Amino acid sequence: MTSTGNATTPRPRRPINRDAKRVLLFNNPLTGHFLPMLPLARALRQQGHAVAFATAAGMAASVEAEGFELVPAGPTTDAVIAEVARRTGSDILAGRTPELVAEFFAGARVDLTLDEALAGAGDWAPDLVVSEHLDFVGPLVAAVRKLPSAVMAIDPALEPELLDALAAAAHSRYLDRGLEAPTHAPSGRWLLDLCPPSLQRGGALPALERIALRPEPHQRPEGTPRAPRVPGTGRPRVLVSFSTAPGASAKLGPVLRSLSALDIDLVATAGGVPAQDFGLEPGRAEVFSFLPAAELLDGVSAVVHHGGSGTTFGAAARGVPAVVVPGTSGQQRQADRLAAAGAGLALPVGKQEPDSIAAAVDRLLAEPAFTRAAHRIRDEIAAMPSASEVAERLTASVSG
């Protein structure tokens, strides 16, 4: 779920901060790895600190729409996928073994990005580096330049075998620079953990200084108008939010048609595909190309999604139960944790037919226990430190 904010929209005057720091955020050039970092970035800026993102130039539109500076670093995701295939002879999209995932995030991408990132960081001169947990460029830049660094865990803790593979892939990149290699992944001084306790995996977090950070549904840039919405009918409103990548609509259409048989109002993200292309009755579903999660979730009683952390945590923050239809191991991780917490249903691969999804939504709406469990997680999230509180704590700990 992304927004289409206007980069030229005037922003309110920021308070002058005489102790202002320069904070450089690193992320893989993927929307799902960028959006979870925005609340902290916005909070830092609101407190008067200088904030920039170091990522591929292809992310410029998203970064600049938020009013942040881009420090270009590294190639596109497609280029890294191609490099992994060249090195290993394997297509990471066809099979995500821990070794292939590690080669992508901590191997090939680091090799193709580090020199440009070091040059950009040298010019921008940050006081603090913050990286999302599958970005291994930022921690290495911080180590080379002897800067304090934090890593933001945008998912529940990764599986131990994947963490071991990531640490192994990163190891030689530190030694090549004459640095002591971390013994674990992720590395840094602080671990900013977005995952609420009920959805966290036990015993898998690295031994860093952990700071809980409240996850928030993505909101459009400050000062940009909200999209007009169709008034509800009083029936339960169900959001269907799958991938908006090309080809995703092939799965979305049958799901929407099956759900349309229920006595509900439908909202869906469709990646630019017109609503009439799904074979629904006119006006049966409110369909958007892109819309911030905070707006998509307004008045929603249940969500159907793939299990990405942004949607999982965003819906949980609103206390909305979900039917999760994962397609990858990472999405399965979120699905399993949500189901274990009682706040949703997980449909494994092979059991994701449109009729099965509709039956799961019907059950979710009929059994109040799912909503009660989702409300418990919502209350957990509300009790977590806000982005503003975490921004103050981090910058107060940085000298200079």
Work out the pLDDT band at 250, boundaries 50, 70, 90: low
Q: Which stretch of 16-20, 48-52, 112-116, 292-296 has the lowest confidence by average pLDDT?
A: 16-20
Cα maximum dimension of the chain: 64
Q: Does domain 22-214+384-396 correspond to CATH entry 3.40.50.2000?
A: yes
Given its phi and psi angles, is residue 51 left (phi above 0), alpha (psi -120 to 50 degrees) or beta? beta
Structure tokens at 347: 């449909």
Contact call for residues 16 and 305 (beta carbons, < 8 A): no
State the Cα–Cα distance between residues 1 and 191, nearest whole angstrom.
Answer: 25
Confidence at 69, pLDDT banded by 50, 70, 90: very high
Distance CA 214, CA 289 (A): 27
Given strand 209-212, what is the order of strands in its sheet? 69-72, 50-55, 22-26, 128-132, 149-153, 190-193, 209-212
Tokens of 101: 């995932």
Is residue 348's pLDDT more than 50?
yes
Nearest to 260 by CA among 357, 364, 345, 326: 357
pTM given for the model: 0.90
Rounded to an integer, the average pLDDT of 38-66 is 97
Taking the C-alpha atoms of residue 148 and residue 125, their distance in angstroms, rounded to an integer, is: 13
Which of the four pLDDT bands, split at 50, 70 and 90, describes residue 351? confident
Is it the case that residue 7 has pLDDT exceeding 50? no
Distance CA 112, CA 203 (A): 33
- Please name the residues in contact with 171: beta carbons below 8 A apart, sequence gap of 6 or more: 181
Q: Evaluate if residue 244 carries a pLDDT over 60.
A: no
- The kind and range of the H/E element at 304 are strand 302-305
Give which of 292, 28, 313 is closest to 155, Cα–Cα.
313
Specify the pLDDT at position 226. Answer: 86
Confidence of residue 19 (pLDDT cuts 50, 70, 90): confident
Q: Name the CATH superfamily housing domain 237-382.
A: Glycogen Phosphorylase B; (3.40.50.2000)
User: Tokens 């992508």, residue?
Assistant: 104
Q: Which of 58-67, 72-81, 113-122, 287-296 has the lowest mean pLDDT?
A: 287-296
Please give the helix or strand (H or E) that residue 324 lies within, else none.
strand 322-324
Cβ-in-10-Å burial (0-12, 13-18, 19+) of 278 comes to buried
Asked if 248 and 271 touch (Cβ cutoff 8 Å), the reply is yes
pLDDT band at 203 (very low <50, low <70, confident <90, very high): low
Chain centre distance of CA 68: 18
Domain ranges of the chain: 22-214+384-396, 237-382
Q: Do the first three CATH levels of 22-214+384-396 and 237-382 match, i.e. the same topology?
A: yes
Q: How far apart are CA 23 and CA 77, in angstroms?
A: 24
